[in-house]
Structure 1
């Protein structure tokens, strides 16, 4: 079984599209009037950006405690590179600079109420 997509609810669809396309390398498939967009990466995975306006709510969505999405980087240098790139983007909140976290090296940031983890794959050595 392969994970096909994840649906993220955000207040600003266009800013989310910019973040995932410009910083994380997703390709925009469709942007429906800045209310919903679909992006894809090279791994046959789609990211659906759902504008909360379609839910008919003004407030930011509430994600469950500790809910987040994560992106693996090849090595510590790659983590530092994307950290520096993300620091140039407006509206992102960083918990700390990249550092040792659990069994890997990385950092967390928030876009709106969505937590994002960037880290080196701690299981890479065990994969064949």
Structure 2
């Protein structure tokens, strides 16, 4: 069995599409009038970007405390490169620069109220 998709609710579908296609390797499969979109990556994992407008609400959706999605980078240099690129985007909030977090190296940022982690895979050595 494999995970098929995750549904993320956002206020601005187009800005989410920009983020995930330009920085995280996703390609758009479908865009339904900027109200809902489906993205897929090379692993055939899908993100469903669901516009809050479909919930008949206009506000930025709230996520539970500590809910986040994470993306692994190859090494610390790749984490720094991603951080520098993302810092150029206007609509993102950052907690801090990349640093040691738990047993890895990375950083957190927010798109709307969705927390996203970028880090080095702490289990990489155990996967060989």
Q: CA shift at 1:45, angstroms?
A: 0.1
Task: Provide runs of 4+ in structure 1 moved above 2 Å.
Answer: none
Local SS of the residue matching 2:54: helix
Unaligned runs of 5+ in 2: none
Q: CA shift at 1:44, angstroms?
A: 1.3
The residue aligned with 1:106 is 106
Q: What is the TM-score of this pair, normalised by structure 1?
A: 0.98
Local SS of the residue matching 1:8: strand
Report the aligned-residue RMSD: 0.6
CA distance in structure 2 between the aligned counterparts of 1:73 and 1:91, rounded to whole angstroms: 22
Unaligned runs of 5+ in 1: none
How do 1:1-128 residues align onto structure 2 when only pairs under 5 Å count? 1-128=1-128
Q: What is the TM-score of this pair, normalised by structure 2?
A: 0.98
CA distance in structure 2 between the aligned counterparts of 1:48 and 1:118, rounded to whole angstroms: 20
Q: CA shift at 1:58, angstroms?
A: 1.7
Q: CA shift at 1:60, angstroms?
A: 1.3
CA distance in structure 1 between the aligned counterparts of 2:42 and 2:112, rounded to whole angstroms: 26
